[in-house]
Amino acid sequence: MRFQAMPKVRRQTGFLTFYVLTTAFPLYVRDSLHGNQQQMGLVITIYVLGGVLIRPLSGQWVDRFGKRKMAIIGMVIFLLACLSYFGTKGIILFLIVRFVHGMSYAIASTAMSTVAATIVPTSREGEGMGYYTMFMSISMVVGPALGLFLWQDKNIHVLLLAICIIAALSLAFAVGLRMPKDKGMEPLAEVQEADSEAAPVASEPAKKGWRLSHFVEPAALPISLVGFILSFAYSSLSSFMASFTDEIHQSQVTGTFFMVFAVMIVAFRPVIGKVFDRYKEHYLYYPGIGLFAVGMFLLSQSHSAAMVLFSGVIMGIGYGALLPCFQTLAIKLSPEHRRGSANGTFFLLFDLGYGLGSYFMGMIASISDYRMMYLAAGIIALICAGGYYMLHHRPRRREASYPQKANVA
């Protein structure tokens, strides 16, 4: 019964709109505003900056005011921001709207991810969150392809109308969301009781002053830092893939690349979730990051459409194992009444890596070329493997009681 609620949760996320614009808006800057690679990355960075600044507060608001309420508030602002793009007449106003849009995305995505984590049974967290993040991952790869399709005629109004429709549908799904308590599910009643009991304890330190732990969940911080490194490398795909394929005269394969990437994520996700629940996360992470790095290196050396698509297959399998692993760990290692803050912490650093990556990868491309940029992204992925070992694997191995602690969390 509880697991059946997951499809509804998945449909209500606004991830697709964000990733549609990650390819379309940089092309808009290049083709219509005649911007360079750094300016193309800036339209992504300013959006992510808005999300990064509000993420710590969004997690706290979700824990304090409720998941469904904050999801609806976030989606209302999200839709208003999409509509506001029609009125932008200059680059400054355009960037202001992007900033507000990013803030609303942070609120909505934090709330919806916490809803998903609440619904999934503890014994199936890896599998349940794996299915949830599968749809997030699909948005990350289908969105850029859809953005390219909508921009093919270079008509900004068609693009904006499409994202407004998607945002309106997301809001409608959020309004129609029914939390499990409405279905008489006793396990969630226990969760809500635990939340109400824990709230006074969590709010006591706030009376003594501002602390970082009020906004960032310390237990989720190490794995979130690893996610930061991964998203830094991943940003090069959605932000600059279209420009890279133009550079190697294979522009017709861009949309197919993202579709292949998505198919690999979907095909392997059921297996990945079960592996996470039955074995340690290391069995997923190291093969996943290895495949992702190899795919980046292959892409940097691609000269043909077949090579580009093959790199997409390799990276899709690897990336499909990484994202659910990160987010599930951020939640699993954190106190239950701090799940909103744990999600906020994870997305804070993941979005920050994505935004900074878009800008700095653009700098690398402007100094050298896109091949060197993807080579650098592959090296960063290998650094991510070392970061995982130092921040998560080695500390967990030192704790003899790690499995018990993880279950309690």
Report residue 378 as tokens.
């592959």
Q: H-helix or E-strand containing 181?
A: none
Contacts of 35 (CB under 8 A, 6+ apart): 29
Check whether domain 3-408 has CATH 3.40.1280.10, yes or no? no
What is the Cα Rg of the chain in Å? 20
**Alpha-carbon torsion, ordered 370, 46, 158, 238, to 10 deg:** 30
pLDDT in tens for each of the 409 residues of the chain? 333 444 333 443 456 787 788 778 878 777 777 766 666 767 877 887 888 888 778 877 887 888 888 888 989 999 999 999 887 776 778 888 889 998 998 888 888 777 776 766 666 665 666 666 667 667 766 777 788 888 888 888 899 999 999 889 888 887 876 666 543 333 333 334 344 333 434 444 444 555 666 667 888 888 999 999 999 999 888 778 888 998 899 988 988 898 888 888 878 777 776 777 777 788 888 999 999 999 999 999 999 999 999 999 999 999 888 877 887 788 788 887 777 778 778 888 888 888 788 888 888 988 888 999 999 999 999 999 999 989 888 887 766 444 444 433 3
Contacts of 398 (CB under 8 A, 6+ apart): none
What does DSSP assign to residue 75?
Answer: H
**Alpha-carbon torsion, ordered 171, 176, 177, 178, to 10 deg:** 160
Give the pTM.
0.68
Gap between the Cα atoms of 93 and 303, Å rounded: 40
Gap between the Cα atoms of 79 and 355, Å rounded: 21
